[in-house]
């Protein structure tokens, strides 16, 4: 019977490895970039907002890490091919892709959601994940590695007035599982993180639209419904991403891992 690989060290080590993180200017993406760099990875920080990506890279550089910023639209195939090519050109290999860029879309009933908003959510959240994997997987397969996609609690349960977002995150899990089956024998693992509420500007924007003028009341009600009594912090989600990208998770693939303080268990 085949035995598993030799157990990796207790602390993840990305020395000599290269990672791409999309949505690198946001709080979760920045935390993932910083965490990977602290563990030795060379990081290509990709964001539509180049200034945000540059801020992430500057923070990494201030800690002695190696990173490069790149502006890209994840929904563009030309841009996806370009950022994968850039990483390989810079460092000769690609080991990790974290598909983290996303947009929640408008908070509105399905019947009043515009086709344009629906298409934009799907382009960023679904096409972006598809294109990132399409172009990164062949490079990662040269030596093995991992993809981590940002899905959501919304990949499993619905939220009223967020139909495009909910549909898109269900689709991300479908892509994650399919890709995992296709590349497992090439030494590549594909997983997704499925956060519940994370205390970020993105969530605060959604809740402001939902709160009818009582943001604090809405926040108290929602945190009270979570068994741990709070929202996740961006660094906690990033830590899970990094674990899934590491050799410590060598036998985990095709999974959506929840990080929501027990919200999905209730």
φ, ψ dihedrals at 161, nearest 5°: 70, 15
| Residue of 90 and 104 predicted with greater confidence | 90
Specify the pTM. Answer: 0.93
38: CB partners within 8 A, 6+ apart: 63, 65
How far is residue 146's CA from residue 98's CA, in Å, rounded to a whole number? 8
Q: How confident is the model at residue 1 (pLDDT cuts 50, 70, 90)?
A: very low
What average pLDDT does the chain have? 95
Confidence at residue 211, expressed as pLDDT on a 0 to 100 scale: 84
Sheet holding 42-47, edge to edge: 66-71, 42-47, 18-22, 96-99, 145-150, 188-195, 256-259
Average pLDDT over residues 40-67: 99
Q: How confident is the model at residue 37 (pLDDT cuts 50, 70, 90)?
A: very high
- Written as six digits, the tokens of 103 are 């947009």
| Residue pair 229/264 in contact by the 8 Å Cβ criterion | no
Ranking 59-68, 168-177, 205-214, 246-255 by mean pLDDT, the lowest is 205-214
- Summarize pLDDT for 109-141 with one digit per residue, the tens: 999 999 999 999 999 999 999 999 999 999 999
Q: How confident is the model at residue 9 (pLDDT cuts 50, 70, 90)?
A: low
Give me the active site residues, please: 165
- Summarize pLDDT for 143-199 with one digit per residue, the tens: 999 999 999 988 999 989 999 999 999 999 999 999 999 999 999 999 999 999 999
Q: Where along the chain do its domains lie? A: 18-196+234-257, 198-231
* Fold designation for 18-196+234-257: Rossmann fold (3.40.50)
| Residue of 263 and 49 predicted with greater confidence | 49
How far is residue 152's CA from residue 41's CA, in Å, rounded to a whole number? 26
Is residue 8 pLDDT above 90, yes or no?
no
Element (H, E) at 42: strand 42-47
């Amino acid at each position: 019977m085949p035995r598993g690989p030799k157990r990796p060290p207790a602390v993840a080590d990305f020395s000599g490895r290269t990672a791409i993180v999309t949505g690198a200017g946001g709080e979760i993406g920045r935390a993932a970039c910083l965490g990977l760099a602290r563990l030795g990875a060379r990081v290509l920080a990709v964001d539509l907002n180049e200034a945000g990506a540059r801020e992430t890279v500057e923070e990494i550089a201030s800690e002695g890490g190696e990173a490069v910023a790149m502006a890209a639209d994840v929904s563009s195939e030309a841009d996806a091919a370009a950022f994968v090519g850039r990483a390989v050109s810079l460092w000769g290999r690609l080991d990790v892709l974290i598909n983290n860029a996303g947009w929640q879309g408008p908070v509105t009933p399905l019947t009043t959601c515009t086709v344009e908003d629906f298409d934009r959510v799907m382009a960023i959240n679904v096409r972006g994940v598809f294109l990132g994997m399409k172009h990164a997987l062949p490079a990662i397969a040269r030596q093995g590695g991992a993809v981590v996609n940002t899905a959501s609690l919304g990949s499993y349960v619905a939220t009223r007035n967020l139909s495009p977002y909910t549909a898109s995150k269900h689709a991300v899990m479908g892509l994650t599982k399919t890709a995992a089956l296709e590349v497992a024998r090439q030494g590549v693992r594909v997983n997704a993180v499925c956060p519940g509420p994370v205390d970020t500007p993105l969530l605060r924007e959604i809740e402001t639209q939902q709160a009818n003028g009582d943001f604090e009341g809405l926040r108290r009600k929602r945190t009270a419904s979570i068994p741990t009594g709070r929202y996740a912090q961006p660094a906690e989600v990033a830590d899970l991403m990094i674990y899934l990208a590491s050799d410590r998770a060598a036998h985990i693939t095709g999974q959506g891992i929840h990080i929501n303080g027990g919200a999905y268990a209730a």
